A = this chain, B = another copy of it.
Amino acid sequence: MFRLPQYSPPDFSDPRFAQAPLVTFREVRKAGVAPEGYHATSVFPEYFHVAPGRWEILRESRMDCVVVQRPDGRLDVVEFRRLQPGDRVAVGRRENAEEGIFVHAEAFQGMSGTGDKFAFRTRLTRETSFSIDYDEFYDLLVHERNHGTIVWVLGPAVVFDQDARSAFSSLIRRGYVHALLAGNALATHDLEGALFGTALGQEIYSKRSAPLGHYHHLDAINRLRELGSIEEAMQRGVVTDGVMHAAVTQGIPVVLAGSIRDDGPLPGVIADVYEAQDRMRDQVRRATTVVALATQLHAIATGNMAPSYRVLDDGTVRPVYFYSVDMSEFAVQKLANRGSLTARSILTNVQDFMVTVERGLRRRETNEEIA
C-alpha cells in the first residue's frame, strides 16, 4: 500500500535559527527588475525568518523566482517579469539561515515510496531496470487520483499512435488526469485523428497514406478555426473521440501554449508565451504529481515551475513527484538533474509507456475491487 514519505521540518530549536537575523526585503524600483542581492528560489522548501522566532515556509514555490512580501505579510513567489515598483523582495544568497533564509534540501524521508532510503544515484541509461518504477508509478497514480492532483505534460508523440491515444483518453475518463499542458501540435494531431483518422496524413493505425493526406492537419486546424473552438466542434458532432474530446468531456483544464513552430494555431492556443507560463503555473501550483511525456520544451518549462513539495491547505507538507518519460538520455537528464529525489525518469518510447501504464492501472483497479 502506498504511503507518502514523511516531511521532516527543520529543527527550529537549533541555535542557528534562534540566532538568525530577520530576512531583509528591498523595494523594487523599476518594473520587472529585482533589487540587488535578491534571493532566488529553488525547488526545495524554503523558510523565511519574518518575525522573531517565526519562520514561514514558501507556498506554491518554483525555481529561479524571487520572494515578495505582500502588504498582508504573505510571501509570494514571483517571476521577475511580474515585479512591480514598490514590491518588497527578499534579499540574501546564503541558504543556511545566516541571512534569515533557510533552504531545506533534505526534507523527505523514505523518498522511494517503498519506505526505503536508497536513492537513484546511478546514472540513468536505456539499460536501467524500470520494473519497480512502473509499480511505484501505479501506486502513486492510484493514490493521487483521489488524494492529489495529477498534471500531465504531453508531446505530440502520444497521439500519433492509436493504442497510446486510446490509453491516454481512457486515463482521462478514469480520473487520472487533473490538468493537461501541451502545445498546438498535440491538439492538432489529436484533432486530425478525430476528423480524418490520420496523423500527418497517415492512417493512425494502418499507417497507410491517405490521398491528399498532407492537407489533413491544415484542414483540421482550418475547420476548428472556422468552428471557433473545440467545444463547438464537439457539440456539432465533428469531434467525437481522442484526447481533447476526453479532456473537454471530463472538464479537465487544458493549457495549450503557442510556439514558433505552430501552424494555425488552433483556437485556444495562447500566443503570448509568458501568459502561457502563468496559465501553466496556475495548474502546477496545485499539482502533487507531474508527468511529462515526450516533450523537451514543455517538460523543461514545467520542471522550472514545479517545486519539489506542496503545502496542503491544512499546513501539511508533502512531496511533489515529477516523472519525465522520453527516448532521449539527453532530454531526461536535463530533468533528472534537478537535485531532488522526487524527480524520476523512464527512458522509453512514450507509446509503450502509455499503453503499459493504462494496463497496469486497470489491473491495479481490478485487484482493489476484488480485495
| Residues on A facing B (Cβ under 8 Å) | 30, 32-34, 38, 40, 64, 80-81, 93, 114, 116, 118, 120, 122-123, 125-132, 134, 156-157, 160-164, 199, 202, 204-209, 212, 214-215, 218, 221-222, 225-226, 257-265, 271-277, 280, 294, 296-298, 300-301, 304, 327-330, 333-334, 337, 346-349, 351-353, 355-356, 359
Q: When A34-B222, A206-B116 are in contact, do A298 and B128 touch as well, CB less than 8 Å?
A: no
| Residues of B close to A330: CB separation below 8 A | 125-126, 328-329
Task: Across the interface, name the chain B residue whose C-beta is closest to A350.
Answer: B126
A129's partner among B123, B258, B351 (CB-CB below 8 A) is B351
Say yes or no: A349 contacts B349, CB within 8 Å. Answer: yes
Q: When A208-B116, A260-B257 are in contact, do A128 and B40 touch as well, CB less than 8 Å?
A: no
Say yes or no: B218 contacts A40, CB within 8 Å. Answer: yes
| Residues of B close to A199: CB separation below 8 A | 129
> In whole angstroms, how far apart are the Cα atoms of A265 and B64 in the complex?
12
| Residues of B close to A30: CB separation below 8 A | 225-226
Say yes or no: B356 contacts A212, CB within 8 Å. Answer: no
Say yes or no: A261 contacts B297, CB within 8 Å. Answer: yes
Say yes or no: A130 contacts B271, CB within 8 Å. Answer: no
Say yes or no: B120 contacts A265, CB within 8 Å. Answer: no
This chain: how many copies in the complex? Answer: 4
| Residues of B close to A333: CB separation below 8 A | 123, 125, 329
**Nearest Cβ on chain B to A241's Cβ, whole angstroms:** 15
Say yes or no: B276 contacts A260, CB within 8 Å. Answer: yes
Say yes or no: A298 contacts B162, CB within 8 Å. Answer: no
Say yes or no: B304 contacts A80, CB within 8 Å. Answer: no
**Nearest Cβ on chain B to A236's Cβ, whole angstroms:** 15
Q: Given contacts A129-B207, A131-B351, could you give 16 more A-B pairs where the C-beta distance is less than 8 Å?
A: A33-B226, A40-B218, A80-B225, A80-B264, A116-B208, A123-B123, A127-B157, A127-B160, A129-B202, A130-B352, A131-B163, A131-B164, A131-B205, A132-B205, A259-B273, A260-B273
> In whole angstroms, how far apart are the Cα atoms of A164 and B356 in the complex?
13
Say yes or no: B33 contacts A131, CB within 8 Å. Answer: no
| Residues of B close to A209: CB separation below 8 A | 118
> In whole angstroms, how far apart are the Cα atoms of A359 and B285 in the complex?
38
Say yes or no: B263 contacts A64, CB within 8 Å. Answer: yes
| Top-9 shortest CB links A-B | A348-B349, A260-B301, A129-B161, A352-B352, A131-B163, A258-B273, A126-B327, A131-B162, A261-B301
Task: Across the interface, name the chain B residue whose C-beta is closest to A279.
Answer: B260
Q: What are 23 A-B interface contacts by the 8 Å CB criterion? A: A38-B222, A40-B215, A80-B218, A80-B263, A80-B264, A122-B202, A125-B334, A128-B160, A130-B349, A131-B164, A131-B205, A132-B207, A259-B260, A260-B298, A261-B301, A262-B273, A262-B277, A272-B272, A272-B273, A329-B333, A348-B352, A352-B353, A356-B356
| Residues of B close to A208: CB separation below 8 A | 116, 118
Task: Across the interface, name the chain B residue whose C-beta is closest to A302.
Answer: B260
